[in-house]
Amino acid sequence: MTLTQRIDEVITSPAHHLLADFFDPEGPFAGSTFDELGENPPQNIGPADLVAVSLLDVRFEPRAVRAILQTDSSYLSKLLIAIPADVDIWDAEDRHLDAAAELFSALDAYAGVGETKASKLLARKRPRLLPVIDSVVRKGLPLGSEPARELRDALSDPSRRTALEALRPRGVSPRISTIRLLDAAVWMRYSQSRNAKRARRRAGV
């Protein structure tokens, strides 16, 4: 199955029920809190960003926290500023994704970080441009070595983006990006967490 075919499958019914559960403010999932918790200045990485990422079931080791928030904060801020905050993934140019890859590599080099934590932190800082990439997303979507470019191509079809936006639960802020809706739909469909399994049973999956 191709990436576009899998995305089309993921965003069909009962995806709307699963996303309603994911973004329920009284529910057990990160929902909008990942994007909206605390301050999220576009030009630097702060403590609230690491707390927000922890809502997605990961934590940063003390050495990485010290490097990100203290020792290397100016260097990481310089890399972050080179990544536009107002560009959606389907409009991204190669230079935008190259800049993101440079920051990803810097984060990935810290002790205990790796693809999952680096991508979740970048998704927090650039929610319109960069996807979460973890084991659940890779299980659900046939992604290769350049997932951002692959998802850029898959979301270049406006009808697919319209279908994703149709899943946005009532009351969920436009600050929650289209790419984040896809992240949530994939996670809710493929996660083996107890809460995700319960949500799928309620939705008839």
Using one digit for the tens of pLDDT, what is the confidence trace for 21-57?
A: 999 999 999 999 999 999 999 999 999 999 999 999 9
Is 177:85 a contact under the CB 8 Å cutoff?
A: no
CA 124 to chain centre: 7
User: pLDDT digits over 152-186, tens only?
Assistant: 999 999 999 999 999 999 999 999 999 999 999 99
Q: How far is CA 142 from CA 7, 53, 184, in A?
A: 10, 24, 16
Residue 167's domain comprises: 3-203
Total domains present in the chain: 1
| d(C-alpha 49, C-alpha 181), whole Å | 19
pTM over 0.75: yes
DSSP 10-79: HTSTTHHHHHHHHT-TTSSS-TTHHHHSS---TTS--HHHHHHHHTTT----HHHHHIIIIITHHHHHHH
User: pLDDT digits over 71-90, tens only?
Assistant: 999 999 999 999 999 999 99
| d(C-alpha 16, C-alpha 26), whole Å | 17
For helices 94-108 and 147-154, angle between their N-to-C axes, nearest 10 degrees: 140
